[in-house]
Structure 1
Amino acid sequence: MTRSPHYIGRFAPSPSGELHFGSLLAALGSYLQAHHQGGHWLVRMEDIDPPREVAGAADSILATLERFGLNWHGTVMYQSQQNERYQATLEQLRQQGLTYACRCTRAQIKQAGGFYQGHCQSLNLPVEQSAIRLRTTQPVYQFDDLLQGVTRIPKALAEEDFIIHRKDGLYAYNLAVTLDDIAQGITQVVRGADLLVPTGRQIALMQQLSANVPEYVHLPLAVTAPGMKLSKQNHAPSIAQQDIMQTTWHALSFLGQLPPALSEFAHQSDLLAWAITNWQLDKVANKTEQIWVS
């Protein structure tokens, strides 16, 4: 793999709970992919959804990353501090005629077939108490993922006008993550395969903003049973107090790296140094799910 000092990757956790093994996979995979290429690895805290956040979780996540030796470049970006930039883009899109207000409920959309059909597109509804949708003028029907291969998106989903500002006044994930990847100059996004399909919407928005589109790598998920990924919502156990080297060794093994026995390493820094030098993306299974039981 060619080393590139211009490589910029990132890990973007949500502070809805402490770091668990599933999120460690994304952190470690993105960290190794960046460092193996001599690039930069950034950390962004996706704290734009206060109702889902847990007090103290952001600080706990950062402390756990440091405990595992996953040190980031620069300062941590907090999405909660980016509202001015998000709003400026919303206004830009509005002036270009690329947004409109919508008051359709999830139940109404489900009843209409499961995909939004543009019902509010020409109603000129007031913005107050409405969601804001993006007119999808450049739908993405497929994209190349460096691990999962060609990912095809159903036509109805690709062409759907999606929400970029929520009815409750919060900025939608697809808007925030896209604008932050642009602002931070991310050249490659490495994250879990649960975000594979939303990538199409993020690429579509980048194209509408005439921004450079990064490469994408979606890592396999750790699940406790088919269809049940390890997540904070599913009460996945925190790794904050787990043995650092043993947990890292398990994560490397899950990612197909076949590290030597733990007895070969004196410290966590030695294990990470081996992992950076020997990291091979093509050894990672190109599956959207795998089973790992703690």
Structure 2
Amino acid sequence: MRRLAGLLVVPLLLLTTAACGSDDKGSDSGSMKNGLPAITAGEKFGEKPTLSQGVGNPPKELKVNVISEGDGAVTKKGDVLSVNYLGQEWDESTPFDNSFDRKQPYPLTLGQGQVIQGWEKGLEGQKVGSRVEIGIPPELGYGAQGQGDIKGNATLVFVVDILKAVTLPKSASGTEVAQDNKDLPKVGTNTDGKQPSLTVPKVDPPTKLVSTYVLESKGETVAATDTVAVNYVAALWKDGKVFDSTYAQGKPVNFPLAQLTLKGLKDGVVGKKVGSRVLIVAPPSEAFGDQEQQGIPKNSTLVFAVDILAKV
């Protein structure tokens, strides 16, 4: 099954993509604190940090220093986190990546294998509002193969600010909205967390973007700059065949909308309320146009049923 989640322009996915370089220099003083390289500037939560180079042998097991403890909820598996981070190899003085410069916090869901194990283990059980420094041995990072510019068998050091944690509902909810246009697809209204039905009529598709509520909640309105956690099922208008579903994968996905390249999906979510279920019909001009994409035929009209679970 094809995954539209890959249609994001994301600078760094800590599990699967190459890291980005940085010109920021850490201190060469070799100072250490509690067994990890010291933060030499920008130590406070929210400030972009710099790190000294590690001295001596790196830790063989995961090591977590709480630089400053927040007063928010304790993070747990299944929570969607929004974080800022800076990452550096133990024996280097230059970071390989940081989100502070991009001014775009990174979203991840704990316990779903979206990030390296060092992050999964190091961030679970921490309080929102905390800054933590994590030393990650190779077996909990990128192992012998390395990743992008990161060497094989590298010990990694991250400074991470935990900005937010959201516990996702199992389903959209709210008031059912009448689906009385016989020329539009019909979407199931179940709220049990299972994939809703999606039935496409055997008529010509609309030529303009359609975005309409199936279940309308009373949540916040989604803005184009937001990151949202969603479940969705997607089908081709031509034959009603499902080509992608987060339900089939068993986990929602996080969409930073500013980085979502499928225009119809992005525009169909923006302006809708968190907690709602939305029907989106994206004509070719709002989808992939006259280009085949991941096996989706050119000039395809795409149909989505999207549960907007949370704003991260």
Whether these two folds match at TM > 0.5 is no
- The structure whose Rg is larger is 2
TM-score norm. by structure 1 comes to: 0.25
Give the TM-score, by structure 2 length.
Answer: 0.24
- Which structure shows the bigger proportion of residues in helix conformation? 1
